[in-house]
Amino acid sequence: MLDRLRVMGIKFEATPGTAESLADADGAFYVLNPKIVQDAKEDHREKEGSLGEWPLVTGAPTGTATFSMEMFGGAANPAWALACLAGCGMGYNGSKFILTALAPDAVGSTSKSLTIGLYQNGRVLKIYGAMGNAVFHFVSGERVVVDYTFKGKWAAPADATILAPTWTTATPLKWANSSLSLGGYAPKIAKLDLDLQNEVYLRPDANHADLSGIAHAMITKRLPQIKMDPEAVLIATKDLYAEWKAGTETGSAVTWVARAGADDATFSGTKGMWVGPNPGERSGLLTDEVTMQLNADDLEITFT
């Protein structure tokens, strides 16, 4: 069995916590370094009158899926975003993707739990009822890559025919001509990482029909943060350190764009606040290594 002969399928669930069947179309993404592991608790049982143990008992069957994905546009609601972003609590509301505080089973929620399957040259590993976190990596002039970590219920591996998707021919979005503005400040930046910082909770349910003891995953806390390395400027031009010390929030929108031809993805939010600035260095240039946290929980992504 060859490791490279693999396809990952991803689909949001009609009923949170109930696994979906995956079809070829659910694997039409450019996925990098996919992995699914089980991480169930194992209870060890001491054997009386012996230094050995009784057979161990496994707890609730849980698993974690990790992978990276190139970011594409080409539509107001790209297929990868409808699944992966919604699984990170950032669902489509009819014109853009927005953060939501609602659980996936709440009325009107745009967040979704996911079924994720990794097809490996004749077998499939799967988690379901899953939600997770996304970290977007922007490097000047390069394609945008998103790292995902999803936690959910683990399904026993099974033999299965590998998915055969029809792959997109679109060009990945790049970070160039980005119109970056951080509350009116437009620094020269080599890289920027946006971390949603979702905390994922596997919601217990002793009544669930699949005997897992878990209903589904849900996001219970987050604080999006932007880490970056702007070139240092004179204090008279921009005093990040004074704004950090004063606890100042930006007075205008935080926004930037990733592009590929006519396809754009615009990121925006408000109430950015500097965290932990310190001097740095990049190939002989003085930089300020700094984080901006988005306090308002209003991050949006719009595809055009």
pLDDT at residue 60, rounded to an integer: 87
Q: Tens digit of pLDDT for each residue in 61-70? A: 999 999 999 9
Percent of the chain at pLDDT > 90 equals 86
Q: Which two tokens mark 279?
A: 């001097």
First-to-final CA distance of the chain: 41
The torsion of the CA quartet 144, 146, 147, 153, rounded to 10 degrees, works out to -160
Residue 289 clears pLDDT 90, i.e. is over it: yes
Q: Tens digit of pLDDT for each residue in 68-116? A: 999 999 888 999 999 999 999 999 998 999 999 999 999 989 999 999 9
Give how far Cα 215 sits from Cα of 90, 199, 208, 282, Å: 20, 17, 6, 47
Q: Which pLDDT band holds residue 126 (cuts at 50, 70, 90)?
A: very high
Residue 251 clears pLDDT 80, i.e. is over it: no
Q: What is the DSSP letter of 27?
A: G
Output the furthest CA–CA distance in the chain (Å, rounded).
76
Q: Which pLDDT band holds residue 272 (cuts at 50, 70, 90)?
A: very high
pLDDT at residue 74, rounded to an integer: 84
What mean pLDDT is reported for the chain?
94
pLDDT at residue 201, rounded to an integer: 97
Amino acid symbol at 67: F
Q: What is the mean pLDDT of residues 135-149?
A: 97
Q: What is the mean pLDDT of residues 196-201?
A: 97
What span, in angstroms and rounded, lies between the C-alpha atoms of 248 and 295? Answer: 11
Q: Which two tokens mark 67?
A: 């992978």
Q: Which pLDDT band holds residue 279 (cuts at 50, 70, 90)?
A: very high
pLDDT at residue 252, rounded to an integer: 80
Q: Tens digit of pLDDT for each residue in 7-57? A: 999 999 999 999 999 999 999 999 999 999 999 888 899 999 999 999 988
